[in-house]
Structures are given as structure tokens and as C-alpha cells.
Amino acid sequence: MKVDAVRGHLDGLLLAVLEPGPLHGYAIIAAVQQRSGGVLELRTGTIYPALNRLERTGLLSSSWQSSGERRRRCYELTDAGRRTLAGERTAWREFTAAIGSVLNPGPPPGLTT
């Protein structure tokens, strides 16, 4: 799927995959891909700027963690990030309901069959 298709929803996707607990960048990419059934393939050049922005705005925090000899920056939700994720989910439900109403209209109101 094209990156343009997730533009505007990237923050919500990143917050959602971090909800269960901290992950490093590659694990975030893998989680999005796995949870989307392989449809969404985010690139490092897409997620790292977004992660940095989300951290600057206080929705994520990060820390360095070691895995063997490798150090990785791990990201996790802050309380503000959890509240924002709840808002993103509500907005997504409203958006998909509105689009669904246009693409798959039901019978006009008052019409009985």
C-alpha cells in the first residue's frame, strides 16, 4: 500500500502498536506490517521522523536499551499518548462510518420494502 494511503493516520498507527509496551523502530515497523496482514509496509525514513515528532510533542518517551552488543532506542506511550490514541480511535470510527455511508448507502430514510 502506498505511503500516501496512511498519511494522516500514521500517528494513530504508531501509537496503537506501542500501546502494549515499548518497542524499537524495527519492531514498530514489523508490528504495523504484521497487524495489517502485510498490507502496510512502512519505511524507516517514514517512521523515525514521526517517532521523533511524537516524542517532541510529549506523546511518546524513549530510552536506550541494550540487546547483546546492540543498543536500540525504544519508544513507549506517555499518558498523553494514551489519551491521544483514544481520540484517534474515535475519529477513525467516525471517519469510516461517514465514508461507509457514502460508498455503501442504505435505503433512503422512510423507504420501506
d(Cα 16, Cα 13) in Å, to the nearest integer?
Answer: 5
Residue-wise pLDDT for 19-70, tens only, equals 999 999 999 999 999 999 999 988 899 899 999 999 999 999 999 988 788 8
d(Cα 22, Cα 54) in Å, to the nearest integer?
Answer: 14
Q: Given the DSSP bridges, would you call strands 70-77 and 60-67 parallel, antiparallel or unpaired? A: antiparallel
> What is the amino acid identity at position 32?
V
Helix axes 10-18, 79-103, angle to 10 degrees: 130
Residue-wise pLDDT for 71-105, tens only, equals 999 999 999 999 999 999 999 999 889 989 999 88
Q: Is 39 helix (H, G, I), strand (E, B) or coil?
A: coil
